Structure 1
Amino acid sequence: MRAVRVREFGGPEVLEPAETPTPVAGPGEVVVEAVAGDVLYLDTLLRSGWGADHFPVRPPYVPGSGVSGRVVEVGDGVDADLVGTSVLTETGEINPETGRTVAPTGGYAERVTVPETSLIPLPEGASPREALATLHDGPLALMVSDAAPVEPDTWVLVTAAAGGGGSLLVQLARAAGARVIGAARGQRKLDFVREQGAEFVVDYSEPGWQERARQITGGRGAAVVHDGAGGELGGRAFEAIADGGHMVSYGSGGGTFAEIDHAEARRRGVRVTGLLDLPAETGESRRRLVARALELVAKGWITPVVGQTFALERASEAHAALEGRATVGKTLLVM
């Protein structure tokens, strides 16, 4: 079976095509033949060696967090009628206490073995690629949006707005009637963010972009900031928030979260919600969020955008594109 492995920690070049044993379904498991595999920025961080204290990942390993495809084999105790069903599923070792995967592994492969309980049936007529784009970005965008609800005409600033999660947050805010400022890097991404519904865009590769964002709001600042950039950019986004506002910082570009002066946040009455402050997920709650995201897609409220696809064997190019900030929307591997 074709797969891609990380042979050692390092740059994109350590991703290499490999032949691995074809998986077999054990009791309570199914084998899914993948149509497409999800690619997360987290995959690139783990491949580089980041996060060893939090994620039990050691080379050689097959990266990847989830696939869309169809069930081709079932194990003992699983209804044989599932064979042929189109599904989404996360991949990787399951924590028995939470039902969540402990690390994004196993998804860069033609076939994956997962527990039956991990399956999310695709709604009738749903595109496997578009549905896969909701598997991780959909739940995250919904949790971030739920953490800081917005009213009509509220100013919302979204950083990393051209990414898979950021573009969905732009759409969700617009659907709620907010006035959205999207922050991204470069004209191609800014044009993309406008297409997702942002009323204004700012280029955060330019000095003083946070002041530009504040000026757009009339000088008061955004009532809500959804920060998917993290690091220094996230710290700059904090400068664009209104007194009494709410910042949800969920991104970790380069491996660090936003640099926030928490004493200044208290002085200004700004509420700061970090990624770890969001509700703890179980496998079941995650699947409910995915189903909710798919329902919003079906209603036309959000449209996940697959910006680029790469053949499985070109996974290293996908990682290089993500790290080079050359992507818009969702990045997928296709089998």
Structure 2
Amino acid sequence: MHAIRLHTFGPAENLTYEPVDAPSPAPGQVRIAVAAAGVHLLDTVLRKGERGPLPELPALPTIPGREVAGIVESLGDGVAGLWLGKRVVAHLGFAPGGYAELAVTDVDRVHEIPANLDFAQAVAMIGTGRTAMGIVQFTELNSDSVVVVPAAAGGLGTLLVQYAKHAGATVIGLAGGPEKTALAQTNGADLAVDYTDPEWPRTVRTWLDGRHATVVFDGVGGAVARETVDLLGPNGRHIVFGWSSGEPYTTTALSEQVLGPAMTRKAGGPSPIRTLESRALTEAAAERLTPAVERFPLADAAAAHRALENRRTTGKVVLEP
């Protein structure tokens, strides 16, 4: 089979497309013929030799990627035969190996893909979708809610806009440039504003006409976060799940960090991550959420990384063998 391998930490060009031995499923595992592999911002961090939130860097050489969808084509000992031939999606957890034509994972991580989702959409929901479900559980939205979503044209922002709109909220989407603001509006934002325009806060305030935002879903941080928090009313909520700008902004009394561990605690139950994954796939199957996907050939993984790092992507980045 072919896969993307990283032999040395560094720039995107270090990702190479090459033949490798096919993995064999261990007991309790399935092997998936990969039709779509998710690319996460964390993948670009690890590629550079920074471990981010993970306990350690992967051993080199490594096949990056932790989100895959495809067809089960081989079973390890102890796995029920009914899985063979199923369309499935799985988050591989801390184990890499997704940027490949074949990948193995524990059967307990696998979900059958709803019939109305394609492989790339399923990958988007198992990763980005589960994060969206983890974020929205911290607030109850209704027709009185006024929600601001920075980075509204990204994979996660798209889902948050759609979720808030489906809940009946008024939604303001912020995005960089006319193409992305148009996408935010297409996805349901009542107002879509270009946050590269220095006058964007005034534009929003004029449109709100005396109203205040009630919720900010913030994964950007920095100057954009400071401006969006200023739009909140006295009882507003600044829900922080990241800071893609590189500058956290959580100094206000309205801020609440809902990073990974907080999301899983909130979801509760014996398998909170799986619960969030199932919710995401259910929302997509019901067509309440439709993930935005940007596809690259598996061999062009380096180009996908560069596009993601330079914010030239809209939606979830997916590699297709």
TM-score normalised to structure 1 length? 0.88
Give the equivalent residue in structure 2 for 1:297. Answer: 284
Q: Does 1:275 align with 2:259?
A: yes
Shift of 1:283: 8.5
Shift of 1:257: 5.5
CA contact (8 A) 2:219 2:240 kept: yes
Q: Which runs of 5+ in 2 are unaligned?
A: none
Deviating beyond 6 angstroms after TM superposition, the runs of 4 or more aligned structure 1 residues are: none
SS at match of 2:197: coil
Shift of 1:248: 1.0
SS at match of 1:135: helix
The AA in structure 2 aligned to 1:3 is A
Aligned pair in 2 of structure 1 residues 61, 284: CA closer, same or farther (>3 Å)? Answer: same
CA contact (8 A) 2:307 2:313 kept: yes
Q: Which one is further off, 224-233 or 151-160?
A: 224-233
The AA in structure 2 aligned to 1:167 is T
Aligned pair in 2 of structure 1 residues 25, 225: CA closer, same or farther (>3 Å)? Answer: same
Give the equivalent residue in structure 2 for 1:139. Answer: 130
CA–CA separation in structure 2 for the residues paired with 1:162 and 1:229: 12
Q: Which runs of 5+ in 1 are unaligned?
A: 92-100
Shift of 1:53: 6.8
Say which of 176, 191, 196 aligns to 1:205. 196
Aligned pair in 2 of structure 1 residues 279, 213: CA closer, same or farther (>3 Å)? Answer: farther
Number of aligned residues = 317
CA–CA separation in structure 1 for the residues paired with 2:270 and 2:32: 18
Shift of 1:271: 4.3
The AA in structure 2 aligned to 1:245 is G
SS at match of 2:283: helix
CA contact (8 A) 1:70 1:84 kept: yes
Aligned pair in 2 of structure 1 residues 118, 61: CA closer, same or farther (>3 Å)? Answer: same
CA–CA separation in structure 2 for the residues paired with 1:303 and 1:122: 14
CA contact (8 A) 2:148 2:173 kept: yes
CA contact (8 A) 1:134 1:294 kept: yes
Say which of 77, 84, 97 aligns to 1:106. 97
The AA in structure 1 aligned to 2:258 is G
Aligned pair in 2 of structure 1 residues 47, 172: CA closer, same or farther (>3 Å)? Answer: same
SS at match of 1:73: strand
Aligned pair in 2 of structure 1 residues 34, 175: CA closer, same or farther (>3 Å)? Answer: same
CA–CA separation in structure 1 for the residues paired with 2:154 and 2:184: 9
Say which of 306, 310, 313 aligns to 1:324. 310
Give the equivalent residue in structure 2 for 1:68. Answer: 69
> Percent of pairs identical after alignment?
34
Shift of 1:220: 4.5
Aligned pair in 2 of structure 1 residues 211, 102: CA closer, same or farther (>3 Å)? Answer: farther
TM-score normalised to structure 2 length? 0.92
CA–CA separation in structure 2 for the residues paired with 1:48 and 1:230: 22
Q: Does 1:49 align with 2:34?
A: no
Give the equivalent residue in structure 1 for 2:27. Answer: 27
RMSD: 2.0
Say which of 117, 120, 127 aligns to 2:108. 117
Say which of 168, 177, 187 aligns to 1:186. 177
CA contact (8 A) 2:129 2:277 kept: yes
CA–CA separation in structure 2 for the residues paired with 1:90 and 1:167: 20
CA contact (8 A) 2:130 2:276 kept: yes
